[in-house]
Amino acid sequence: MSAESSLRFLRQLQRLLDEGLFTSTYKYALLQALADLSVEQEPGADGGLWLAVPEIAEKFVEYYWRQALPFSPPAGAASAVTPDRSPLKPLLQNTDGQAAVITHIVAARSRAPGGSLAALRQDTSAWLALRNKVASVIRGMPLWKLQTVPGEATEFLYRKAEFRDDRIRLLPGVPAAFRNFHGLVTNLVRGAWVARVQRIPGNREVLGETASLEGFLFGTDRATLAPWREILRDHQSGRCFYCRSRVGGAGDLDHFIAWSRYPVDLGHNFVFSHPACNLAKREHLAHPEHLRRWRESNLEGGDALAAAFDAARLPHDRERSRRITVWAYGQAELAGAHAWVEGRRVEALGSGWRSALGMEQVRMAAEEGAEYR
Ligand SMILES: [Zn+2]
């Protein structure tokens, strides 16, 4: 991407966030969905990407699932909730009453075993019913309102005229722009989302001055990681993924592509490791030598993992995990990043990661070079 087209993309995105006409938080969810799907899916030869509305709806459910929980200030924070104020409710995501997506999710959650999204997905008819309801909300408004700022329609992401078979097409160069700026877009969107929720009048008395709203809206629940850890421990015969020696004690579950780089809990992205190895790796990407072993162990050897994840009702998607990994390493290479080897040792990443993932080089180069116009 040229510097000029990058700037134009970011400037237009910033306008949508600043000036777009919305009473709900849907535009944030929609932008985040477009950015995430640009990472997780393969664009066409022209650099554009067709996305079905139900795929976007699935992302909405993932983001709002957590946000549809009753809000309670985290332990330790000064309570803004008066004792007589009960029961706790989800935060409002719309200035005029609750957003329909939250209402649909709250209803679906009450019927899902353990209130778990993974459990709901296994009940195909309940899952599709929820996805369809959310899809119809998206079709009804946010999809066509997103690119409208006062006085003009700026169709720089996709065009209403191209909508067909329930699909939109991200214009050539847009998926590449979202891939290049994924971290930046995520931070812009989340910052604006948190500020919006905080400003909705009905939320003020519940929120008070709580500073941890971002954690509530976008955090992860560490406790839910334990079942993953046991599956990965078995898969690796009790050895640390990184140094390959035996792990005494509980061990750690490591996001192979760090949560801070791409916040998703998908089975094949996890490895089991020593707490010390996990800590030393921090937010780094692992060296291509680790990457090669991840490919062999978790992608090529991923059928056994998939079966274990299914049995434990844990979400996984090998192809999505592979795409996220390709994106993360591609971005890191462009940024001239270092990769973690062991302990405090890091090395320049270079291009060796492609062969570690068994990829040909030409396709990647063509894709990252796609111009946003
Ligand atoms: Zn280790």
276 Cα–ligand 1 center, Å:
7
Q: How confident is the model at residue 78 (pLDDT cuts 50, 70, 90)?
A: very low
Mean pLDDT of 118-147: 94
Q: Are residues 144 and 204 located together in one domain of the fold?
A: yes
Neighbours of 153 (CB within 10 A): 13
Helix H or strand E encompassing 72: none
Does residue 85 register a pLDDT over 70? no
Does residue 314 register a pLDDT over 60? yes
The answer to whether residue 233 sits within a structural domain is yes
Instruction: Kindly give, in sequence order, each residue whose CB lies less than 8 Å from that of residue 351, ignoring residues fewer than 6 positions away.
Output: 333, 361
Q: Which two tokens stand for residue 10?
A: 């970011």
215 Cα–ligand 1 center, Å:
29
Q: Are residues 143 and 262 located together in one domain of the fold?
A: no
Does residue 294 register a pLDDT over 80? yes
What per-residue confidence (pLDDT) applies to 292?
A: 97
272 Cα–ligand 1 center, Å:
9
Q: Are residues 180 and 144 located together in one domain of the fold?
A: yes
Q: Are residues 15 and 162 located together in one domain of the fold?
A: yes
Q: How confident is the model at residue 80 (pLDDT cuts 50, 70, 90)?
A: very low
The answer to whether residue 132 sits within a structural domain is yes
Q: How confident is the model at residue 81 (pLDDT cuts 50, 70, 90)?
A: very low
What per-residue confidence (pLDDT) applies to 369?
A: 52
The answer to whether residue 152 sits within a structural domain is yes
The answer to whether residue 257 sits within a structural domain is yes
Residue at a domain's end among 218, 236, 258 = 218
243 Cα–ligand 1 center, Å:
4
278 Cα–ligand 1 center, Å:
8
Residue at a domain's end among 170, 199, 218 = 218
33 Cα–ligand 1 center, Å:
35
267 Cα–ligand 1 center, Å:
20
What per-residue confidence (pLDDT) applies to 84?
A: 47
Q: Is 244 left (phi over 0), alpha (psi -120 to 50) or beta?
A: left
Does residue 290 register a pLDDT over 90? yes
Mean pLDDT of 237-244: 97
**Ligand 1 ion: nearby residues, β-carbon < 5 Å:** 240, 242-243, 274, 277
Q: Are residues 202 and 298 located together in one domain of the fold?
A: no
What per-residue confidence (pLDDT) applies to 83?
A: 47
The mean predicted confidence, pLDDT, of the chain is 87
Q: Are residues 213 and 227 located together in one domain of the fold?
A: no
Does residue 122 register a pLDDT over 60? yes
Q: How confident is the model at residue 345 (pLDDT cuts 50, 70, 90)?
A: very high
The answer to whether residue 323 sits within a structural domain is yes
What per-residue confidence (pLDDT) applies to 123?
A: 92
Neighbours of 357 (CB within 10 A): 18
Q: Are residues 160 and 289 located together in one domain of the fold?
A: no
**Total number of domains constituting the chain:** 2
Most confident of 18-27, 87-96, 313-322: 313-322
332 Cα–ligand 1 center, Å:
24
Instruction: Kindly give, in sequence order, each residue whose CB lies less than 8 Å from that of residue 52, ignoring residues fewer than 6 positions away.
Output: 165, 166, 167
Mean pLDDT of 310-325: 91
Q: Are residues 205 and 74 located together in one domain of the fold?
A: yes
The answer to whether residue 145 sits within a structural domain is yes
Of the chain, the percentage scoring pLDDT greater than 70 comes to 88
DSSP track, 205-249: HHHTT-S-HHHHHH---GGGGHHHHHHHHHHTTTB-TTT-SB--S
Residue at a domain's end among 195, 218, 241 = 218
Q: Are residues 228 and 168 located together in one domain of the fold?
A: no
232 Cα–ligand 1 center, Å:
14
Residue 122 sits in which domain range? Answer: 3-218
- Point out the least confidently predicted range of 97-106, 188-197, 198-207, 348-357: 198-207
Q: Are residues 81 and 199 located together in one domain of the fold?
A: yes
More confident residue, 320 or 22: 320
Neighbours of 273 (CB within 10 A): 26
The answer to whether residue 141 sits within a structural domain is yes
What per-residue confidence (pLDDT) applies to 210?
A: 59
Of the chain, the percentage scoring pLDDT greater than 90 comes to 59
The answer to whether residue 373 sits within a structural domain is no
252 Cα–ligand 1 center, Å:
10
Q: Are residues 17 and 100 located together in one domain of the fold?
A: yes
Give the whole-angstrom CA distance, residue 193 versus residue 183: 15
What per-residue confidence (pLDDT) applies to 271?
A: 97
Question: Tens of pLDDT along 192-240?
Answer: 898 888 888 888 777 765 556 777 788 766 667 888 999 999 999 999 9
309 Cα–ligand 1 center, Å:
23
Q: Are residues 271 and 146 located together in one domain of the fold?
A: no
Does residue 79 register a pLDDT over 50? no
Does residue 77 register a pLDDT over 70? no
Does residue 256 register a pLDDT over 70? yes
